[in-house]
């Protein structure tokens, strides 16, 4: 099962840091790539730099035709929104289907159409919080925590430590 994250409604400058967090979370929590609908070189570069140093084959693409990305997706389409069904009610079904998953993550306003184009509108709780957190918890539930033990085989690697920072370079 491969997962791609579609980031909708990114506003250049204003959302630069949050969208970078979305991309880094997608990678660190086991997704294979991110599609940005607004070109933003700074964001793309930040994420690619992390991939270059820390490993994995995470891809970042820009595709302004987001409707097409959703419509043509072969697999399960999930939109994360606080208005949707609770993740705990649907996550087993989504995982069991075993199909590739497109996770749609919006910025502030998401077109109403998105709610109709996907298979599932899923809430990580029904309180307002953050698309970064929603994505992390969704992927953590989908991969049942195993994603946080995956090896990335990059040039840089952390040696876990109770105090201080240890990084080895290979």
What residues line the site for its own copies (CB under 8 A)? 14-15, 17-18, 21, 24-25, 27-29, 50, 54, 81-88, 112, 115-116, 120-121, 123-130, 132-133, 135-137, 140, 145, 147-149, 152, 157-158, 160-167
Nearer to its own copies, 69 or 107 (CB): 107
Chain-centre distance for alpha carbon 129:
16
Nearer to its own copies, 69 or 122 (CB): 122
Evaluate whether 32 touches 60 at the Cβ level (below 8 Å): no
In the complex, the smallest distance separating the C-beta of residue 5 from its own copies, rounded to whole angstroms, is 13
DSSP 83-143: EEEEHHHHHHHHHHH---EEEEEE-S---HHHHHHSSEEEESSSS---HHHHHHHHHHHHT
In the complex, the smallest distance separating the C-beta of residue 102 from its own copies, rounded to whole angstroms, is 17
**CB within 8 Å of 120: residues ≥ 6 apart:** 76, 77, 78, 79, 84, 85, 90, 94
Q: Is the dihedral of CA 147, 152, 156, 157 positive or negative?
A: positive
In the complex, the smallest distance separating the C-beta of residue 89 from its own copies, rounded to whole angstroms, is 8
Nearer to its own copies, 45 or 88 (CB): 88
Nearest alpha-carbon partner for 67 in 25, 24, 118: 118
Nearer to its own copies, 4 or 121 (CB): 121
Nearer to its own copies, 62 or 133 (CB): 133
In the complex, the smallest distance separating the C-beta of residue 7 from its own copies, rounded to whole angstroms, is 14
In the complex, the smallest distance separating the C-beta of residue 1 from its own copies, rounded to whole angstroms, is 19
Chain-centre distance for alpha carbon 53:
19
């Amino acid at each position: 099962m491969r997962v791609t994250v579609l980031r909708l409604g990114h506003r250049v400058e204003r959302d630069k840091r949050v969208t970078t967090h979305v991309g880094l979370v997608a990678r660190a929590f086991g997704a294979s790539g991110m599609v940005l609908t607004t070109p933003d070189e700074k964001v793309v570069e930040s994420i690619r730099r992390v991939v270059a140093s820390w490993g994995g084959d995470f891809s970042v693409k820009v595709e302004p035709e987001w409707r097409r990305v959703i419509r043509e997706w072969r697999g399960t389409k999930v939109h994360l929104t606080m208005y949707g069904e609770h993740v705990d009610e649907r996550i087993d079904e989504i995982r069991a289907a075993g199909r590739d998953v497109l996770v749609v993550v919006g910025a502030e306003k998401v077109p109403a159409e998105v709610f109709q184009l996907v298979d599932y509108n899923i809430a990580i709780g029904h309180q307002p919080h953050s698309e970064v957190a929603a994505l992390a918890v969704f992927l953590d539930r989908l991969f049942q925590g195993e994603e946080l033990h995956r090896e990335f085989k990059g040039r840089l690697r952390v040696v876990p430590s109770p105090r201080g920072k240890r990084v080895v370079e290979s």
